[in-house]
């Protein structure tokens, strides 16, 4: 009598029952882990995105709806708050002023602090370390302690109520921090590369611009974004030193939407949405630089 026996699992290439069960358990476990991870990520995303959504949602509501019907979705969405900001409150001028100030501060700050950081990292001179630490200490002094002495200096130099005055003022805070941050980036680039370039005939300045700065682009981008954002958001000094309506920056424009104890929530949120856009675009464009390895590919043979 012929008997048929099932071929061994290994011979057919099929997993055995125990193995199948183990695989199923593992797959289930993986699936659960995946669900947990995605769930957590979703939760974090909601926590991060919700305030932005709420800001945008309020910006589309009129006061009565803001106060009386605090719903997640605007019931009667309107662009009136944006229209009021742009047509009646000259918010585009505020944005223009902020772009002027923040971009000027960023460009000048990057230029000066690149030289300063290069000097600290590559040259040898007395008190080099002390100067480096002093630069950081300058940055650590709170602005609120400095506004009265600074107001005296600003008045004597006749820099008050002007955008260039604000640029100079912001540079005094941004350059120390940028220098400190760039020092770190420059330090991590091997000096051999510059030395090799100098052996090949370039100057010290050439080595800085042709070797070090291109290799430090991610660092420069990060510092640039940080400087731009800080200048874009600064309120205290703008509040003290800018008096003319047509020289107000974005934070000042928003501040003036609060009169006494009344907050114009609709226009404030619309202004916040508009103020966030340039910075968001900047972050989007520079995100690759931000995450790129600093010296990736620099030592390829």
Partner 1 sequence: MSHSSSPFLRRRRTRRQVVGGLAGGAAAFTAGSMLPGTLLARKAPAVIQASGPLTYWGGLIFSDAANEMLTDTINQWGSDNGVETEVVMINQNETNQRVSAAVEAGTMPRALDMGLDLALLLSTSGQLQDVSDIYDTIGAAQGGWHESVDGAVAPEKFNGIRAGVPFGAGGNVLFRRQDILDEIGVTEAPATWQELSDVAAQAQEGAPGVYGLGLALSNVGDANLMVSALQSYGGRIADDEGVTCTISSPETMAFLEWVNAAWEAGLFPPGATTWDGAGDNTAYLSGQAVFIANTGSVSIAAQTDDPELFEATAYSALPAGPVMQVAPIGPNLRAIPTSTEDVDTVKALLEFLAQPEFLGEYYKVAIYGPVLQGQDEMEAFTSTPVLGGLRDLVLNGTAPGAPDVSNTAYADFNSNFTVPKMIQRIVVDGMSLEEAMAEAQTSGETIYAKYG
Q: Among 148, 199, 291, 299, which residue sits at the site for partner 1 (rule: CB under 8 A)?
A: 148
Binding of residue 92 to partner 1 (CB under 8 A): no
Burial 91-126 (b: 16+ CB within 10 A, else e): bebbbebbebbbbbbbebbbeebbebbbbbbbeeee
Residue 204, token pair as written in the block: 């010290």
Distance of alpha carbon 61 from alpha carbon 85, whole angstroms: 14
Which part of the chain contacts partner 1 (CB under 8 A), choosing from 2-10, 110-118, 143-151, 199-207? 143-151
* Minimal distance, residue 70 CB to partner 1, in Å: 7
* Minimal distance, residue 96 CB to partner 1, in Å: 6
Residues numbered 47 to 76 that lie near partner 1 (CB under 8 A) are 62-64, 67-68, 70
Q: Among 55, 86, 112, 159, which residue sits at the site for partner 1 (rule: CB under 8 A)?
A: 159
Q: Hunting for tokens 């874009």 — which residue is that?
A: 232
Residue 129, token pair as written in the block: 């370390």
Binding of residue 108 to partner 1 (CB under 8 A): no
Q: Among 50, 54, 115, 164, which residue sits at the site for partner 1 (rule: CB under 8 A)?
A: 164
Binding of residue 83 to partner 1 (CB under 8 A): no
Q: Which is nearer to partner 1, 136 or 163 (CB)?
A: 163
Binding of residue 86 to partner 1 (CB under 8 A): no
Q: Among 243, 280, 290, 296, which residue sits at the site for partner 1 (rule: CB under 8 A)?
A: 243
The answer to whether 65 and 75 are in contact (CB under 8 A) is: yes
Binding of residue 133 to partner 1 (CB under 8 A): no
Q: Hunting for tokens 């979703």 — which residue is that?
A: 42
Binding of residue 198 to partner 1 (CB under 8 A): no
Helix %, strand %, coil % of the chain (to 5): 75, 0, 25
> Residue 96's closest CA among 267, 249, 278?
249
Binding of residue 290 to partner 1 (CB under 8 A): no
Q: Report CA 187 to chain centroid distance, whole Å.
A: 22
What are residue 73's phi and psi, to 5 degrees?
-110, 130
User: What is the gyration radius of the CA atoms in the chain, in angstroms?
Assistant: 29
Residues that bind partner 1 (CB under 8 A): 62-64, 67-68, 70, 96-97, 99-100, 103-104, 107, 147-149, 151-152, 154-156, 158-165, 239-241, 243-247, 255-256, 258-263, 285-286, 288
């Amino acid at each position: 009598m012929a008997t048929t026996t099932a071929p061994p699992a290994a011979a057919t290439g099929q997993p055995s029952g125990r193995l199948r069960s183990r695989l199923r358990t593992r797959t289930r476990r993986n699936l659960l882990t995946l669900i947990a991870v995605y769930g957590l990520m979703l939760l974090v995303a909601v926590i991060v995105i919700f305030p932005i959504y709420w800001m945008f949602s309020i910006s589309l509501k009129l006061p009565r709806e803001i106060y009386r019907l605090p719903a997640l979705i605007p019931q009667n969405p309107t662009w009136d708050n944006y229209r009021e900001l742009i047509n009646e409150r000259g918010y585009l001028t505020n944005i223009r002023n902020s772009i002027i100030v923040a971009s000027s501060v960023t460009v000048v700050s990057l230029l000066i602090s690149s030289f300063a950081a290069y000097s600290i990292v590559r040259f040898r001179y007395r008190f080099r370390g002390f100067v480096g630490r002093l630069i950081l200490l300058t940055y650590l002094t709170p602005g609120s302690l400095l506004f009265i002495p600074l107001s005296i200096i600003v008045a004597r130099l006749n820099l008050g109520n002007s955008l260039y005055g604000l640029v100079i003022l912001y540079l005094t805070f941004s350059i120390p921090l940028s220098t400190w941050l760039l020092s770190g980036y420059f330090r991590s680039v091997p000096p051999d590369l510059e030395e090799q370039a100098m052996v090949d005939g370039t100057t010290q300045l050439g080595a800085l611009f042709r070797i070090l700065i291109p290799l430090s682009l991610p660092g420069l981008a990060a510092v640039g974004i940080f400087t731009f954002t800080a200048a874009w958001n600064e309120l205290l000094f703008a509040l003290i030193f800018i008096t003319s309506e047509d020289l107000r920056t974005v934070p000042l424009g928003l501040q003036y939407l609060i009169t006494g104890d009344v907050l114009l929530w609709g226009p404030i949120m619309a202004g916040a949405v508009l103020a966030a856009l340039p910075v968001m675009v900047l972050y989007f464009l520079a995100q690759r630089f931000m995450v790129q390895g600093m010296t990736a590919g620099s030592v390829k043979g």
